Structure 1
Amino acid sequence: MSGEPRGAVAWHTLWQTVRHGEESGLWCIYITHPGNELGGKHPTSTAPEHRPTVLHWWGKSREKATKRGACLGCEWEGQDRRTEKDAVEDAHDHAWPGWRNLPGVLPPSSTALYEKKVYERWLAEVKRAYPIGWLEAGGPIVTIRRDSAFSRHEPGKAPGGGYDLAATYFRAKKIRDNHAQPTLDMEFPS
C-alpha cells in the first residue's frame, strides 16, 4: 500500500506514536530484537551499514505470517514469515551474505564463561575460522547447541554484538537441499 512506512525504523517509530487500543495493524520491531529496547538494552552494533532485526505484526487483519526480517541500516524488509527464526535468517541473508557458509561452532564451555584465558582461546579459534573482522563488525556466529531442535536465534549474543544463530535450524533445511553446513572441530577443557 502506498504511503506506508518503509523499513524497521519507520515502522517502529509509527508504532510508538499510536496509543494502545488504536492499532489497526502495524509492524513494530519484535521485543528482544535490536531496535526495540523494551526487551532490554542491546549492545551497540558495530555493523558498518546493514543491521538485522525482526518486525512483528501488531494488530488484526493478518493471517498466520506475523514476522518479517528487516534492517536497521536501510529500508529493506523481507517477506512475511510464520516464524521468528525464518525472519531472522532472511534479515541475515540481507545484512550478512555468506553467513550460511560459516562453520558451526560449539558455544563456549561454562568454564570458558568464567575463565578469561579459556574464553580467549575459544574466541581466537572462532576468529581463525571466520572471515577477518567478521565478529568485530557485528557479524553473527553460528553455534551448535544441545537443544538444537528448539534453539532460538539470539540477538546480541555473538562476540561483537551480532546474533548467535542456532546451527541446526538452517542446517536441516540445507541438508534437505543437499547442502551440508560445515562444522568447526574445537576441543577445550570443560
Structure 2
Amino acid sequence: MGNEPRGAVAREAAVDQAPADQQRGMWRIYITHPGARTSRVDPAVTSTAPEHRPTVLFRVVDEPKWHQLYRGGCLGCDWEGPETASESKAVEDAHDHTWPGWRDLPAVQQPKTNYERWLAEIRRAYPPGWLEAGGPIVTIRSDSRFSRHMPGKAPGGGYDLAATYYQAKKQRNNDPQPTLDLEFP
C-alpha cells in the first residue's frame, strides 16, 4: 500500500473518491472526531494553529477476525501516529503531536456548581490562551463508564481528556498526576 495518501484530510478525500465496494478497510476519520462528516465538532475551533488540529483515524480489518484499528491524525498536516487497537491511545498520540505538554496539565474534577468560578480557576492553572485556542482539558471521571476522551467538550472546543488513561502510566513511574482542588464552599 505504498501509494496510500498520508494525513487525515487526504485519507478522508481518498475514501470519498473510492467506489463504495472498495472503501472497507481504508483509513478514514473516526465518527464524532473533528473532520468526520458526522462530527459536531468544528475542526476550525479545535486548533492550536492552522497546521495542528487533532483527530483520530480508523479502519476495519476483517481477517483473521473483524476488528478496528486506530491512529492519531492531524487535520492540518500529514502527521499520523502508529496503529493501535485503542481509540484512546490514538487520541493521546494526536494530542502529543498537536498539544505538546498536555500530559503535564493538572487534572480537574468536572464542575458540580459555579461553572464560571471553576473555569476561572482552570484558566489560572493552564497555560495562557490554552483553552481559548481549543486546547484540551484533563478531567477526572469518577465512573469508568465515562472515561472516553470527548472531542469538542472542553471549554474552547478542544477535547475533554479523561485523566484515567494517563494517570496509571504516571503512577508506574512514581510521578503523581497533578490535580487541582476545585471544590468551592
TM-score by length of 1: 0.87
For each residue in 1:109-162, what CA deviation from the matched residue of structure 2 results, as whole angstroms up to 9, or x when unmatched? 2x4xxxxxx221111000000000000111100000111475100000001110
Instruction: Give the match for residue 78 of structure 1.
Output: 81
Instruction: Give the match for residue 41 of structure 2.
Output: 42
CA–CA distance in structure 2, aligned partners of residues 144 and 163 of structure 1: 14
Q: Percent identity?
A: 61
Instruction: Give the match for residue 11 of structure 2.
Output: 11
Instruction: Give the match for residue 95 of structure 2.
Output: 92
3-state secondary structure, aligned to 1:77: coil
Question: Do 2:74 and 2:94's aligned partners in 1 also have CA atoms closer than 8 Å?
Answer: yes
Please report how far the alpha carbon of residue 103 of structure 1 lies from its aligned counterpart in structure 2 after TM superposition: 0.1
Q: Which runs of 4+ in 1 moved over 3 A?
A: 58-65
3-state secondary structure, aligned to 1:126: helix
Instruction: Give the match for residue 153 of structure 2.
Output: 157
CA–CA distance in structure 2, aligned partners of residues 42 and 144 of structure 1: 22
Aligned-residue CA RMSD in angstroms? 1.9
User: Aligned residues, how many?
Assistant: 181
Question: Do 2:30 and 2:57's aligned partners in 1 also have CA atoms closer than 8 Å?
Answer: yes
* Aligned with residue 109 of structure 2, among 80, 83, 106: 106
3-state secondary structure, aligned to 1:85: helix
* Aligned with residue 58 of structure 2, among 56, 62, 72: 56
**Which runs of 5 or more residues in structure 2 are unaligned?**
none
Please report how far the alpha carbon of residue 101 of structure 1 lies from its aligned counterpart in structure 2 after TM superposition: 0.3
**Which runs of 5 or more residues in structure 1 are unaligned?**
112-117
Question: Do 1:24 and 1:60's aligned partners in 2 also have CA atoms closer than 8 Å?
Answer: no
TM-score by length of 2: 0.90
Query: Does 2:134 align with 1:133?
Result: no
Structure with more helix by fraction:
1
Change (3 A) 1:168 1:9: same
